Structure 1
Amino acid sequence: MKEILERLNYLIVALPLKVKQFSEQEVSEQPEKKWSKKEILGHLCDSATNNYHRFIRIQFEKLPFFLVSYDQNNWVLIHDYQTIPTDEIVDFWITINQQIIRIISNIPEGKLLYLCDIGENKYITLSELIQDYVRHMDHHLGQIFGASSI
């Protein structure tokens, strides 16, 4: 978890600086049938919000913990990230990830092995779920920043 925490702490500092390199017009450009950079950032907020609850609940609810998926397109649509100032989206992303860092930092080592039911008779550990959260984030950061990803 040390590497995950280091990565998240780094991103909390680096992401706002990288986003400021774009104009509001650049982050709002919406490729046909794809999310704008702002909407991708919003999606990362939605991912953080969903995983925030998962990282807490798996520690005390019945195991294996059943992961409920969410409709990411509708979440982005309903939040209307396209019309929210980019700074607000970035601030929300920072705040929720600061809390996720606190949660991860306080997970007892034994609980990292707790199982999550991801459906179709497949299971992952809480540790793997946390790692997947950061992999997912890095994937989308690559979409925003391209080859010069953070």
Structure 2
Amino acid sequence: MQNVINELNAWLVKVPEGFSRFTEIEISERPLPHKWSKKEILGHLCDSAINNLERFIRIQYEDQPLVLVPYNQDQWVDLQGYRDIPIEEVMNLWVGLNKKIINVISKISQDQLTLQCDIGNNQLRTLEWLIQDYLDHMEHHLNNQIFK
């Protein structure tokens, strides 16, 4: 888990620096009518952090395997109104949530990393897999959509 923590800490520096180089138009403009802007993608990453933080905590004390409840990503982004919120507010939320995630995963024991969750259709994964998937998902959006 130390590699994940190191990567998350690195992103906590890189993302605010990277966004500081964009204009308001660059972060707010949608590439296509039904595609998210850079700011909305960052908002989506906040929603991912909210949902995964809860999962990382619940899997440690609820009955195994924890059945993960999916969430409607488009509705979350739309209903949270990230497009109309100042970037500083979205950035502060993203940074704060990821600091909290780092805090939580830094306290997870090696044994707890083997705890199981059902990601859907009876597909069982470990907590370790779930945490790595969170980072991979974040890096996909950051590398391929925001900072491409």
The normalised TM-score by structure 1 is 0.96
Could you tell me how far apart the structure 2 residues matched to 1:51 and 1:100 are? 8
Q: Which residue identity is paired with 2:131?
A: I
Question: 1:14 deviation in Å?
Answer: 1.4
What is the percentage of aligned positions where both structures have the same residue? Answer: 51
Query: In the alignment, is residue 4 of structure 1 matched against residue 1 of structure 2?
Result: no
Aligned to 1:109: 110
Which residue identity does 2:10 align to in structure 1?
Y
Could you list the structure 1 runs, at least 4 aligned residues long, displaced by more than 6 angstroms after superposition: none
Deviation at 1:60, TM superposition (A): 0.2
Deviations 1:59-105 (A, max 9, x none): 00010011111000000000010000111101100000000000000
* Structure 2 residues without counterparts, runs of 5 or longer: none
What pairs with 1:9-48 in structure 2 (closer than 5 Å)? 9-32=9-32, 33-48=34-49
What letter is aligned with 1:47? S
Aligned 1:19-98 pairs, distance under 5 A: 19-32=19-32, 33-98=34-99
The AA in structure 2 aligned to 1:77 is D
Q: Partners of 2:49 and 2:67 in 1: how far apart? A: 17
Residue 133 of structure 1 corresponds to 134
How far does the alpha carbon of each residue in 1:14-51 deviate from its partner, in whole angstroms, 9 at most, with x for none? 11001100011110011221000000000000000000
Q: Name 1:121's counterpart in structure 2.
A: 122
Q: CA deviation at 1:144?
A: 0.5
> What do residues 90-146 of structure 1 show as CA deviations (whole Å, max 9, x unaligned)?
110000000000000001110100000112121100000000000000000021010
Secondary structure of the structure 2 residue equivalent to 1:101: helix
Letter in 2 for 1:68: V
CA distance in 2, matches of 1:88, 1:24: 14
